Structure 1
């Protein structure tokens, strides 16, 4: 997707189904202005915190404490002190906290998107189930499913954040790299469905049940032994028995 603004970027999001908002949420004038028609079913791209009615700041304090612990353990390593200390005192550190929360399963104020359409295709063609312990499995979509891929546009460094540009190389996370994932922060305040206004194309995947898709779940969700940050979170889950910490870390999902 091309734009006159070099900071504007096209990204993809794959879903196993197309969801819509309640019609009463928009007036006919608003639907006409936003989508060019009065009878449109507005796509629902609510961030996970809005879908679950979670007040994200309630959990972000505990999450920030975990991030501080993770980063400061690595500050002790030779050659990393200055870069990581500068990072934790920057605006990017807080945004990295939002992004990592989303990437690893915590309800957040944004969405995961990708610049790789093959990644979007994987997420569209699979449904995911997470056990009470956080173990995630994926099942290939059946013939009765209606998977979809959305093409969206966003502005880098304003609402679209690439993990590689947020954090120093020493603490870059494995999962977003495996998924070519970016954090799309469009779910703030009283406008949680802003991402739906950024859709410029929707691809309905017809005949998908006959397609071959060879990539494994562990390719997109590296296992703990291959993901330092995930391993840190699971170790803290085992060690830190405070209810507030257990409640937070129980939401982390992973492939064993």
Structure 2
């Protein structure tokens, strides 16, 4: 779809918003927005569930519609409180083309209409003959990794951990992990220790690349160990790292107000069209998503970096009043550095330097970033499976960048200036870029 067609569709969708009253009306609007939003082209596994919910019924109705599933009330509460959402299988199948054999299996063997869906992993629950079962909607991923080294199908939710064990088994001690799926946790107290660790890893990469992501806190998924033992959620036997991208955080609250939800993405779609229009022609299809991510807007992608110093900056500085300030090292939690072992042949990773070559897009250039793609509304925690190693920082570790360099202001970054002016001119109220305070 070209830019003019997208602008015409936006006008039509705005008119529909003015008339919308029922959830089904907003579903049609969201379907239209998915044709415009750049995130749809970077979520290869579920491009039709970027913002469209897998069931249009509001969260207040889920318990009643799902009461046929044989689990006790406290487990139901735990599932819903931790982003299990309702799946309308008819709606899903109408939007997503699956192999006929899979559709037949769902229709004939599983049956039913509404199911509990683990929105972190794209797996839904069903019961048959008094037993719990589950079914993964992410079928394409299994095929993509069929013949890739160090990517066993049965460990597809732990690709990074498995790769690390295979590649570094003669270098690192994996014996203290709880399970084979668990990510090995290491710790360092200085730049020298970290440099030495990276130096021991590189000779064993066998064609893979190292990438990094720094965070001030090691967020984890909810603990479902007991439910895993009972075979309700057997894939939840490990408490994974949580790398849910910004677009899918606080999901249940967002889906509680379809009007506000739709209006937000209308504004984001308008901005994405504008970004396409001011960047030169022959735009890489992934670039608008990268720009939205790095300029502070909600996105489905995860930004990582090839530069260790950039990752160390983000691990040791947090945002407060639109400024990056050093973390409090007296806190009980330690900042963390995630290490990824990535394959350009199979993994959903893109080097931003290739995407922005010849474009004056300062933030991604200075942050030397890559982007991971693939997450969707039905598989939010898609990126956690690629974490190979977790490195806790016990003490401050030296790095070479500051916030002013990584986040150039309006006077230096022409794209940021244009984005801010467009939002002001169009009086968009729900979106705004991240601009570093002085």
Q: TM-score, normalised by structure 2?
A: 0.45
**Partner SS, residue 204 of structure 1:** strand
Counterpart for residue 436 of structure 2: 255
Structure 1 residues 236 and 15: CA distance shift in structure 2, 3 A: same
Structure 1 residues 33 and 207: CA distance shift in structure 2, 3 A: same
Query: Per-residue deviation at 1:119?
Result: 0.5
Counterpart for residue 203 of structure 1: 391
Q: Say if 2:313 and 2:402, in contact at 8 Å, map to a contact too.
A: no
**Partner SS, residue 108 of structure 1:** coil
Task: Give runs of aligned pairs for residues 90-129 of structure 1, distance below 5 A.
Answer: 92-93=284-285, 95-129=286-320
CA distance, structure 1, for counterparts of residue 377 and residue 274 of structure 2: 29
**Partner SS, residue 152 of structure 1:** strand
CA distance, structure 2, for counterparts of residue 229 and residue 153 of structure 1: 32
Q: 1:48 aligns with which of 235, 246, 264?
A: 246
CA distance, structure 1, for counterparts of residue 335 and residue 313 of structure 2: 10
CA distance, structure 2, for counterparts of residue 180 and residue 74 of structure 1: 20
**Partner SS, residue 99 of structure 1:** helix
Query: Which 4+ residue blocks in structure 1 deviate beyond 4 angstroms?
Result: 1-4, 28-34, 54-61, 211-214
1:129-183 CA-partner distances (Å, limit 9, x unpaired): 34xxxxx20111112241000001334486212223224513x410011111122
Supply the RMSD in Å over aligned alpha carbons.
3.0
Q: Say if 1:186 and 1:193, in contact at 8 Å, map to a contact too.
A: no
Find out whether 1:72 has 2:277 as its counterpart.
yes
Gap runs ≥5 in structure 2:
1-201, 256-260
**Partner SS, residue 248 of structure 1:** coil
Larger radius of gyration: 2
Query: Per-residue deviation at 1:3?
Result: 5.0
Gap runs ≥5 in structure 1:
76-83, 131-135
Find out whether 1:238 has 2:238 as its counterpart.
no
CA distance, structure 1, for counterparts of residue 361 and residue 233 of structure 2: 39
Task: Give runs of aligned pairs for residues 1-256 of structure 1, distance below 5 A.
Answer: 3=205, 8-24=208-224, 27=228, 38=237, 40-53=238-251, 59=264, 62-73=267-278, 84=281, 86-87=282-283, 92-93=284-285, 95-130=286-321, 136-143=322-329, 144=331, 145-156=333-344, 159-170=348-359, 172-208=360-396, 211-213=397-399, 215-241=401-427, 245-249=428-432, 252-256=433-437
Q: TM-score, normalised by structure 1?
A: 0.74
CA distance, structure 1, for counterparts of residue 319 and residue 435 of structure 2: 11
**Partner SS, residue 422 of structure 2:** helix
Q: Say if 1:125 and 1:141, in contact at 8 Å, map to a contact too.
A: yes
**Partner SS, residue 221 of structure 2:** coil
Q: Say if 1:178 and 1:222, in contact at 8 Å, map to a contact too.
A: no
CA distance, structure 2, for counterparts of residue 155 and residue 188 of structure 1: 21
**Partner SS, residue 49 of structure 1:** helix
CA distance, structure 1, for counterparts of residue 419 and residue 375 of structure 2: 25
Highest RCO, 1 vs 2 (Cα 8 Å, sep ≥ 6): 1
CA distance, structure 2, for counterparts of residue 174 and residue 149 of structure 1: 24
Q: Say if 2:353 and 2:368, in contact at 8 Å, map to a contact too.
A: no
Structure 1 residues 198 and 139: CA distance shift in structure 2, 3 A: same
CA distance, structure 2, for counterparts of residue 178 and residue 67 of structure 1: 22
**Partner SS, residue 421 of structure 2:** helix
